[in-house]
Amino acid sequence: MAKFRGTVKRSDLEGGHWQLVADDGTTYVLEGATKGIEVDGVSVEIDGVVEKDVMSFAMTGPTLKVKAGRKVA
């Protein structure tokens, strides 16, 4: 499991989904334990795993399976 830091964004593409725009510029589609961090524009730290063999309708980046997430200042 790895840590990811960045900003949560809401995308309306394909019915809507939550994304993480990581500090390194990579955009991930968020999946899993996202309760509490589903706020557009909030800075977060996420514990999770990038799933490489997953297909998604979102088509905006790799899927980040969230195990835990928290808001940061």
Q: What pLDDT does residue 13 have?
A: 81
Structure tokens at 44: 């977060």
Tell me the one-letter amino acid at 15: G
At a CB cut-off of 8 Å and minimum separation 6, what does 5 contact? Answer: 22, 23, 43, 44, 45, 46, 72
Q: What pLDDT does residue 59 have?
A: 66
Q: What pLDDT does residue 50 have?
A: 95
Domain range 2-71, CATH class: mainly beta
Global pTM value = 0.88
- What are the pLDDT tens digits along the chain (73 aa)? 899 999 999 998 877 899 999 999 999 999 999 999 999 999 999 999 999 876 666 667 899 999 999 999 7
Q: What pLDDT does residue 61 have?
A: 85
